[in-house]
């Protein structure tokens, strides 16, 4: 699942939790807290992946020159 789709999915879950009639306010608060942590982790993972791709593309020519690729 792409990062964007994953984020959209978490937002829909968050909305469902907020609008839930079955959960107590404490359960809603705890669930939202966890969802927000997951969203932050999802964003961080995307940034980390992008940075690794930048590094990899810069290192590739060096590895080729050294005969490692």
Whether 60 and 69 have beta carbons less than 8 Å apart is answered as: yes
pLDDT recorded at residue 18: 92
Residue with tokens 């930048």: 54
Residue whose C-alpha is closest to residue 31's, from 17, 41, 43: 17
Measured CA to CA in angstroms, residue 48 lies from 42, 52, 55, 57 at distances of 10, 6, 11, 14
Q: What is the per-residue pLDDT across 9-66, written as a single tens digit (0 to 9) for each? A: 878 888 999 999 999 999 999 999 998 888 888 788 888 878 877 887 777 787 788 8
Q: What is the per-residue pLDDT across 35-47, written as a single tens digit (0 to 9) for each? A: 888 888 878 888 8
pTM for the whole structure = 0.58
Q: Nearest 5°: phi and psi at 24?
A: -75, 165
pLDDT recorded at residue 3: 60
pLDDT recorded at residue 28: 93
């Amino acid at each position: 699942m792409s990062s964007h789709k994953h984020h959209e999915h978490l937002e829909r879950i968050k909305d469902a939790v907020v609008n839930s009639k079955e959960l107590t306010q404490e359960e809603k608060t705890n669930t939202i807290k966890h969802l927000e942590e997951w969203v932050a982790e999802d964003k961080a993972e995307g940034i980390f992946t992008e940075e690794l791709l930048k590094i990899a593309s810069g290192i590739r020519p060096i590895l080729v020159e050294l005969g490692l690729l």
